[in-house]
Amino acid sequence: MLTELNAGDLQALKEWLKSRTQTIGADIYGAAAGIIDQVRAQGDQALKDLTKQFDKVDIDTLRLTEAQIDELAAQADPAFVKALKGARDNILEFHEAQKQNSFLLNRPNGVYLGQRVIPLDAVGIYVPGGRAQYPSSVLMNAIPAKVAGVKRIVMMTPPAANGLVEPNIACAARLAGITELYVTGGAQAIAAMAYGTESIAPVDKIVGPGNAFVAAAKKLVYGTVDIDMIAGPSEILVIADSGADPAFVAADLLSQAEHDPLASAMFVTTDAGLIRKVKEELQKQSAFLPKKDIVEASLANYGRSILCESMEQCLEIANQIAPEHLELMVENPMNWLGQVRHAGSVFLGYYTCESIGDYYGGTNHVLPTSGTAKFSSALGVDAFVKRSSFLHYTKEQLEQDSAAIQTLATAEHLQAHATAAAIRTPSITADDQKARAAADAKEPQ
């Protein structure tokens, strides 16, 4: 089921992986833009009308009360609740460690400068509805915002048939500390969060996955608010040595393949025999999977095995691909981690299947796809803060630096910039900088 590839085919594979990213059609942009206009013009009524039209649900009140959220959450299976709490605690711990501090530098003459790390005022989290419900995504999007210190976190999701939300989603919202939850989905939810309605105040940033209409709406409101990355199809690259159990390797490749026929599972090793055994395991295990059809399509499309001559070559291929998920199913994986330059998240050793990270370990599962790990990062606390710098000068220090500032501003033909310094230090002119440079030149080297 895996197509065998030579290291020489790598360029083609890279292009192919990128080509999976589907462009959004003009018709979808048009529809999303129309919905945004309708929400901006008619507010809450538009949200109700569009929910009736698309979700076939009548909603009276858009917002669930905290009591309603609690009541729904209480309906979730206790085993699920306990598992989600464990996940929440681990995700919290990891993201707490991501927090950046503000800093302050002091210089002579009363000069100081620094950078404050400030949480965004308000963030909106979109949560898809329909058959596929992902409570884990609620945690992965909301917890970094919470840890960043964002005071107002809004969640919007399409209503279930009863006009409410599924218990598992309510439970995730509750565990993440979300209290402002609206039952509206689609492009209309994105419009409401970006521009506000009578009952929904606008936010500063919108995150979370969604269908093509949601993605189009996010792109259209970008600039008015910030948005997260529009994720492409998922991928994994597994590097395994002879010590790896082929059944484990196959299980991990299948866990990626079941997402989507466009998902890509890649297996890289120096052990030709392992490739054969993994293929056998893929056959055996996939037969029992409920999503057998998706898995087979995905492996046929984007399943690859690559036989390498050395671990160094395996790692170089991983760096070329810059996979969203990278497993190092090798002995002493920490000895190799330093050679990984590009990967969204790395899973180390024989017992760290990707699904631990997807659900439970604490690292974020919202990761850069399609090779963008070369220049971008997992969703994290950084996405929910901004850095604001500050600078304080005194007359004493400006008298030291005014000539230099005037010289630099004048060289860029920005005379008013020079004047702003000069007017504060009337005795200092750009000529003083010439004198200083001349004095420098005379000093013995």
Give residues 153-172 in contact with a second copy (rule: CB under 8 A).
Answer: 168
391 three-state secondary structure: strand
Name the residue with tokens 């030291």.
Answer: 400
Work out whether 146 is an interface residue with a second copy (CB under 8 A): no
Cβ-proximal residues to 388 (8 Å cutoff; 6+ apart), any chain: 115, 116, 118
Q: Are 269 and 310 in contact (CB under 8 A)?
A: no
Q: Are 35 and 188 in contact (CB under 8 A)?
A: yes
Residue 392 annotated as catalytic: no
Closest approach, Cβ 273 to a second copy, in A, equals: 20
Binding residues among 290-349 for a second copy as defined by CB under 8 A: 290-291, 295, 333-334, 337, 340-349
- b/e code 335-363 from CB counts within 10 Å (16+ = b): ebeeebebbbbbbbebebbbeebbbbbbb
Work out whether 391 is an interface residue with a second copy (CB under 8 A): yes
365 carries a ligand binding annotation: no
Q: Which of 34, 86, 243, 273 binds a second copy (CB under 8 A)?
A: 86
Q: Which of 10, 28, 31, 247 binds a second copy (CB under 8 A)?
A: 247
Closest approach, Cβ 329 to a second copy, in A, equals: 11
- Both tokens of 56, joined, read 């076939």
- b/e code 382-412 from CB counts within 10 Å (16+ = b): bbbbeeeeeeebeeeebbebbbbbbbebeee
Q: Are 22 and 155 in contact (CB under 8 A)?
A: no
307 three-state secondary structure: strand
Nearer to a second copy, 181 or 249 (CB): 249
Measured distance CA(384)–CA(379) in Å, rounded: 9
Nearer to a second copy, 62 or 207 (CB): 207
Work out whether 408 is an interface residue with a second copy (CB under 8 A): yes
188 carries a ligand binding annotation: yes
Binding residues among 355-384 for a second copy as defined by CB under 8 A: 355-364, 368, 372-378, 380, 382
User: Sign of the CA dihedral 58, 64, 70, 76?
Assistant: positive
- Both tokens of 381, joined, read 């606390």
Cβ-proximal residues to 217 (8 Å cutoff; 6+ apart), any chain: 32, 35, 36, 186, 187, 190, 191
Q: Which stretch binds a second copy (CB under 8 A): 29-37, 58-66, 307-315, 434-442?
A: 434-442
Closest approach, Cβ 420 to a second copy, in A, equals: 4
329 three-state secondary structure: strand
Work out whether 121 is an interface residue with a second copy (CB under 8 A): yes
The site that binds a second copy (CB under 8 A) totals a number of residues, namely 129
Binding residues among 36-75 for a second copy as defined by CB under 8 A: none
Work out whether 11 is an interface residue with a second copy (CB under 8 A): no
Work out whether 430 is an interface residue with a second copy (CB under 8 A): yes
Q: Which of 31, 63, 398, 429 binds a second copy (CB under 8 A)?
A: 398
Q: Which of 423, 427, 442, 444 binds a second copy (CB under 8 A)?
A: 423
Residue 325 annotated as catalytic: yes
User: Sign of the CA dihedral 53, 58, 60, 63?
Assistant: negative
Catalytic residue chosen out of the listed positions 258, 325, 327, 365: 325
Work out whether 438 is an interface residue with a second copy (CB under 8 A): yes
Catalytic residue chosen out of the listed positions 324, 327, 354, 365: 324
List binding-site positions for substrate.
234, 256, 259, 325, 358, 412, 417
List binding-site positions for Zn(2+).
256, 259, 358, 417
